[in-house]
Structure 1
Amino acid sequence: MLSSVLLLLLMMISGSKADYYGFVFSSSTKDLQADGFPTVARYLYSFSTCAEVDAQVCGNNCNFSEIILNKIQEISGEWCQKERLVTSVTNGSQLSQFGFSGGNWTDNRNGIVSFRVQMQEERGIRSDTGEPNTSPLTAVLPVLRVPSNCQRNFSLLAFDPDGDEIRCRNAQNASECDVCTPAPIINLSSSCALTFSPTGSSNEGSYAVQLMMEDIAGQTLALTQANGGTSQRNTGDVLSKIPVQFVFKVDPVAPSCTEGVYLPRFLPPTPDNGAKISTTVNQTLEITVKAEATQSEITGLLFSGPYNVMRSESGSGTFTLRWTPSDVEGGLSHPICFVVRANFSSSVLTSDLRCVIVTVAKNSAVTTTGPTTSTPTPAVSRTMARSLTTGTTSIATSANQTLDAGPYYVIALKAKILATMSLINDEETLAQLIKEELISYGLPQTISIRILSSGSMEVTNAT
């Protein structure tokens, strides 16, 4: 089913004129069900208008069963980003590569005309986790902006639910890009950081950015397919790769490069870049974003994330992103990225890029005193479990943490631990090691760990 949908997308996009602003792909799996592992593939399309997205992807008819596009955000006269979700079930499949091409990039200084994207998915069941591999997760705005006279750094979100290392590189061959000339005014590191250094006015304008984000095997892995066949990936091998494409715009000089003067500066309680936030299905999450710019006028919050995230403003420079995940989003991690925008005279100025990862627990039977806030909490994700997954002794844990004057958080951890210590004779040592691991994910120093006779674990907070 998935391959036929991808072929349909290829047929509809290829050969069409477009004002293209970028694309991002990711694919995630949920826990094993009776018929296999539910899989959700996420496609983010960016064009100059929402109507253009519809025309390029589904021929102006996005309401039939095969293709439904949901609007994330549209900036009138500039760009629109829409999301398409494709759900399926996998029992492990072989390495697959697929992609599409066509249309025209928006005018750019590095001479990229037609767009081309390629994805690589490794869907075999991993020997270290017992689950299919998950691609890196990221999001990005269709346009990132910088004044030509300001040093600016952008750290792209690079999150892998399997705990694999993620590397970024420029697209580099005919299957990944039609013309592969990198934007000469930015430097890309393998850790997915973009660096822009001040440049002359002759370099102002838009540049097409075409990146590949890859997850890398940290050890030798056996991968099992649905037919029982196996393959091997060695340390350092690429497991999957996703395209990350967007526009990087160099604007005229700003009067000052100091954040908080003309360029918006984030203020608390805005989450840090890369923060991990937990919520549950049918529970409303609130992320507060606050910024200041003393000499320019803050005009809005631009974001990329799940299509049903709602944005509101409560005074100059203070915004709230509200999201109530559905069952479809349960059991998965979701990136949300944002910038604050300001105007000065005829100039548009933006903050740096902030991104968070929201992990949605499957269980919605949680009562709280109000909506979940954006206070970072330990993510209910495979990353947390896999940091402890090294063997065969199963220890299930759960913890309830009550923050002062705030909502309740429920964090669940399932782990397998292999150790030479005895669960009976070395109980205190094991409990201390597990406590240190939980604290490293954000639980308070005051938690107490007790291993029960059943092999389960009790976590309490002394405060």
Structure 2
Amino acid sequence: MSLSALVLLLLLVCVQANFYGIVVNYYPSGNNSTGASTGILYYKLGYSLCLYSVPYYINGQPLVLQKVDEPISGEWCQTEGVISQYFSSNSMFSIPASGIDWIFGIKNGIVSFKIQALVELRIRSDIGKANTSPQTTIIPAIRVPSNCPRNLSLLMFDPDGDIVKCRNGDASLSECSPCTPPSVLSLSPSSCTLSFSPTNSSDEGPYAVQLMIEDFPRQNITLTQTNGPQTIITTNDAISKMPVQFVVRVDPAVPSCTEGLFLPMFLPPTPAHRTQLYTYVNQTLAISIKAQTLNSTISELLFSAPHTVTESQTGPGQFTLTWTPSNSVAGQSHPICFVVQAVLGAAKYHSELRCVIATVALPTTSPNTPACEYEGLD
């Protein structure tokens, strides 16, 4: 069974839940002289119900969706599935999937879910191995008050050092259907920032965001298939593409847009957006997060990360995300994103989005390597 059919099956078994988004990331894991290759597909799925730890069997192989996070209200649930896939040849590989409906009332007219990803398996001339896809993650739903300007800066990075850009999905490429972008958001492709400007109460409600992230080489490269064919990729050509889909919910106006009053404000030692952190196999990485509000009550931390990341609350407005990576992710970098949510009566308020890159260093890397700002993201 092909990888595309595998992903499609996993999505269709969940037809009783409504869709809240998807993120797909890919890491190559090996090639051999016959042209075959292997890779690992990480996908995060957002639904209106928490469907996790449910086994599926593909050709006798059990696959399990594991819970990442779920709000106290049960509004959504994000799960992660990890698939190790064998490819009979190292060429390009597409991952189409479609099926269930988005949550009810999407303001930009999106009803049914659809994606089209593209994985590049050929050997790159610049690094001597197969391409790794650009990496990102996001929680299934981000809240913004209708009267406050907000910039949603998505984390996007490339383990191969490529330039990463994002764009709205294209219906002609079967990346979504329809692909109408939210009218209340404007996109900056180079930084992958979604900007929201104050709007009318008539625009309040949920919007489906359907983006594609793509990696572009910093210089012309050659892609080589094991049986000989070569293709030149220029700096204007995308090497691969991955879908990022989620909900932005425009909420009623907040009494003040100043962070720290009603909207949660991050405080030290919360890491800055796009900080890169290092850890090792079987070594625990702890990320401390702190936020405050004066006129609302901080209720919880919402996050998207590898499913083995755990959360604990250490005090009022204080949280810790903990990850002890296994050998299966050695040498990989994984995104971890989070917001703090506050409540006032029935109203819910989100902080800005913060994300970090957690790199599981190989044993040859110095154990004293400090955390640092990640460079070359844009």
Match of 2:96 among 77, 96, 99: 99
What is the count of residue pairs matched by the alignment?
367
State the Cα distance separating 1:33 from its structure 2 match: 9.0
Higher share in helix = 1
Letter matched to residue 132 of structure 1: A
> Structure 1: where are the runs of 5+ without partners?
55-59, 364-396, 402-408, 412-438, 443-463
Answer yes or no: is the 8 Å Cα contact 2:18–2:48 preserved in 1.
yes
Task: Tell me, yes or no, if structure 1 residue 71 matches structure 2 residue 70.
Answer: no
Answer yes or no: is the 8 Å Cα contact 1:30–1:331 preserved in 2.
no
Answer yes or no: is the 8 Å Cα contact 2:276–2:358 preserved in 1.
yes
- What does 1:1-400 correspond to in 2, within 5 Å? 4-11=2-9, 13=11, 16=15, 18-30=17-29, 39-51=39-51, 61-62=55-56, 65-75=61-71, 76-88=73-85, 93-107=90-104, 108-174=106-172, 175-190=174-189, 191-363=191-363, 399=366
Higher share in strand = 2
Q: Normalised by the size of structure 1, how large is the TM-score?
A: 0.74
Q: Secondary structure at the match of 1:103?
A: strand
Q: Secondary structure at the match of 1:109?
A: coil
State how far apart, in whole Å, the 1-side matches of 2:138 and 2:329 are: 19
Q: Secondary structure at the match of 1:67?
A: strand
State the Cα distance separating 1:13 from its structure 2 match: 3.6
State the Cα distance separating 1:6 from its structure 2 match: 2.6
Answer yes or no: is the 8 Å Cα contact 2:212–2:244 preserved in 1.
yes
State how far apart, in whole Å, the 1-side matches of 2:287 and 2:182 are: 33
Answer yes or no: is the 8 Å Cα contact 2:37–2:90 preserved in 1.
no
Answer yes or no: is the 8 Å Cα contact 2:70–2:302 preserved in 1.
no
Answer yes or no: is the 8 Å Cα contact 2:30–2:39 preserved in 1.
no
Answer yes or no: is the 8 Å Cα contact 1:101–1:117 preserved in 2.
yes
Q: Secondary structure at the match of 2:253?
A: coil
State how far apart, in whole Å, the 2-side matches of 1:172 and 1:204 are: 25
Look up the match of 1:377: none
State how far apart, in whole Å, the 1-side matches of 2:77 and 2:107 are: 21
Q: Secondary structure at the match of 2:202?
A: helix
Q: Secondary structure at the match of 1:242?
A: strand
Cα root mean square deviation, aligned: 2.5
Shift in CA distance, 400/24, structure 1 to aligned 2, threshold 3 Å: closer
Shift in CA distance, 441/213, structure 1 to aligned 2, threshold 3 Å: closer
Bigger-Rg structure (1/2):
1
Once the two structures are superposed, what CA deviation does each residue of 1:26-80 show, in whole Å capped at 9, x if it has no partner? 10135779998752210111100123x78xxxxx644773421111012243001
State how far apart, in whole Å, the 1-side matches of 2:165 and 2:82 are: 25
State the Cα distance separating 1:258 from its structure 2 match: 0.3
Q: Secondary structure at the match of 1:101?
A: strand
Percent identity between the two aligned chains? 46
Q: Normalised by the size of structure 2, how large is the TM-score?
A: 0.90
